[in-house]
A = this chain, B = another copy of it.
Amino acid sequence: MTATREGGRRAAVVDTSRSPHACLRPLPLEAVRFDDVFWTPRLRTVRAMTLPSQYEQCERTGRIDNFRRAAGKKQVPFQGRYYNDSDVYKWLEAASFALAHDSGSAGAEAQAWLRRTVEAVIDEIAAAQSPDGYLNTYFTFERAAERFTNLTQMHELYCAGHLIQAAVAHHRATGERRLLQVATRLADHICATFGPQARLGTDGHEEIELALVELYRETGNRTYLDRAGFFLDMRGRQPPMLNGSVYLQDHLPVRAQREIVGHAVRATYLACGMADVYAETGEAALLEALEALWQSAFERKVYVTGGLGARWSGESFGDDYELPNERAYAETCAAIGGVMWNWRMLLCCGEARFADWLETALYNGVLAGLSLDGARYFYQNPLADRGRHRRRDWFETACCPPNVARLLMSLPGYCYSISDDELWVHLYVAGHVRAALPAAGTVSLRIETAYPWEGLIHCVIEEAPEVAASLVLRVPGWSAGAMSVRLNGKHTEAPVTAGGYVALRSHWRTGDEVELELPMPVRRLVAHPHVLADTGRVALARGPLVYCVEGADHPHVDVWDLELPDDAPVVAERRPDLLSGVVALVGEAVAAPAGAWDSQLYLPTGQQPPIPRQPTPLRAIPYYAWANREPGPMAVWLRRI
């Protein structure tokens, strides 16, 4: 029943181990252990609170009953939206990752509950599968005849993709094949139904592409890779007069796309699929499109928090520099999609700019999606608010909650990667990693750090590889030019590569110590002048964290009335008592209460009412922590004076 996979478990997140065109290979979750002041308690909360409560939500809302219904076990109507299966699959993926490692473990009892529940959910899923392999609980009984008749609207391939991802994660985490067999039967059904010699069709919500590549990696069945490519090729084939949908990236062939447009989650998932196919095929035209799309997204359309998708309308990307703050959509899922995409770009290309935005999104745009208590979620993540926007414990369309869970439960998999004789460190989390470098032997590394609160990364070689190897440390973009490296206590010249890493090559000995010092001054960020929403405003950041001001810390002034002089000192302040422990930024700002404007909305410059300006204490908190206290106004971007 719980037979362990031959050769041990290996729960990699995007397994490019044998991908010929990826320059980095991931490490499995099991190779990484967190012992971290920031992440360990958070992952414990996800295990103890988020995963169980999401399972309960899936039961309460009929999402699992839908499988029981499809299997004939329960005579109830289908409940909820036609894409609700995907939430169960994403929960299962998160739970599978949680089974793979014990970082932040909630204890043996909780792990046993999780294992039992995962098995039980797999039972329900397996029983709901049609004999021909088809599986979608919405298209059963009276709707069975409608299967695959409305590919662009009905999310069947999207749900299938999430089942495949869950199955791959479950197989990697546990070595068990049962869910993988369900997924391969469905994938085989899809591959038999669609293809160059079979039916054509554009999937409405990308996801199947990246899933099929991962299934190819897991099974070796090249048909899955071919069909992933096929589904990419299907996009943008409408005759021009029919105007293929920009919303679902069907307006142009993927290789001709240069601007990231449409529904933001769809767009990032498509980019993931493109990158996954590229990693296997090395097709230059795909990488060229990916690079242009990445620049479009991360040089012109991303929020300072890593949030993606400015528009509520269509949950979509806006135009270049269209980044409103109070009406940012910035769906949690889109920030996660950005993490997934950047991770794939990083594996393919090994450049720190991808890790930079991955990290920014993780610590800000994604993490804000989950309450500190692990039980409530943001769907949208505005950068300014009047106190109305609050997390909710579930949604009718509940894509974001399990998406956060699966990302955080797989986080150890995003921290490191390897090449033949290199160990790369992308994210700095205190703990331990052990990796077999193919051309150098096993290396084991302990990392001590108080990151993201402090910038000192202390690395100790606990097991040295047999021959010379490189420790490749990411230099975050925000610290470029200021970082320093000490080797066994001595300063060492360590040039930053074009890709943004420091590569330390040595014949390491056990006990060798490397210290990377990333100075963490408070940064005052300004935006490109064409970001109309940020004109005359400044945002505070420190390390990977973007900060905001919140009403709860400013009882006597509306934070929308704060002005920050360029020369006002702002310093970091450790506050273990605040918001589960943060480093706050404190200083003196100016309160400029707008009350004197009264009922006036527009006034000539000469007739502006006198605003009494007076110094007022400023306290900024990490953006991820906002809206965990009483409701009140919030702002990331302050008026700059």
Contacts and interface: CB of A to CB of B under 8 A. Distances in A.
A319 B386 contact: yes
A175 B604 CA distance: 47
B324 A599 contact: no
A603 interface: yes
Interface string A284-314: 0000000000010011101010000001110
Given A384-B532, A535-B537, A524 B604 contact: yes
A560 B529 contact: yes
A386 B532 CA distance: 12
A638 B637 CA distance: 19
Interface in A31-71: none
A575 interface: no
A528 B600 contact: yes
A601 B302 contact: yes
A90 to B, nearest CB: 26
Given A386-B320, A535-B537, A605-B538, A597 B528 contact: yes
Contact of A535 (B298, B304, B535): B535
Contacts of A602: 304, 525-528, 539
A318 interface: yes
Interface in A508-563: 523-533, 535-539, 560-561
Contact of A594 (B312, B525, B528, B566): B528
Contacts of A386: 319-320
A322 interface: yes
Given A324-B324, A536-B536, A531 B311 contact: no
Contacts of A533: 324, 532-533
Most buried by B among A320, A327, A561: A327
Contacts of A560: 529-530, 532
Contacts of A605: 524-526, 538, 566
Contacts of A538: 605
Q: How many copies does the complex hold?
A: 2
A374 B601 CA distance: 32
Interface in A435-481: 478
A326 B323 CA distance: 10
A639 interface: yes
Nearest to A353: B599
Contact of A604 (B298, B525, B528): B525
A174 interface: no
A599 B529 contact: no
A524 B386 CA distance: 28
Given A600-B299, A602-B304, A605-B526, A327 B324 contact: yes
Contacts of A299: 599-601
Contacts of A561: 529
A523 B324 contact: no
A298 to B, nearest CB: 8
Most buried by B among A384, A388, A601: A601
Contacts of A530: 560, 594
Contacts of A531: 601
Contact of A319 (B302, B388, B478): B388
A488 interface: no
Contacts of A529: 560-561, 592, 594, 597, 611, 639
A298 B601 CA distance: 8
A137 interface: no
Given A304-B602, A384-B532, A601-B528, A311 B295 contact: no
Contact of A601 (B300, B535, B601, B604): B300
A403 interface: no
Contact of A327 (B311, B526, B600): B311
B525 A603 contact: yes
A492 to B, nearest CB: 26
A184 interface: no
Given A528-B597, A529-B592, 7 more contacts: A300-B601, A322-B327, A324-B324, A324-B327, A324-B533, A527-B602, A529-B597
Q: Which 6 A-B pairs have the closest CB atoms?
A: A536-B536, A312-B313, A529-B594, A299-B599, A535-B536, A524-B605
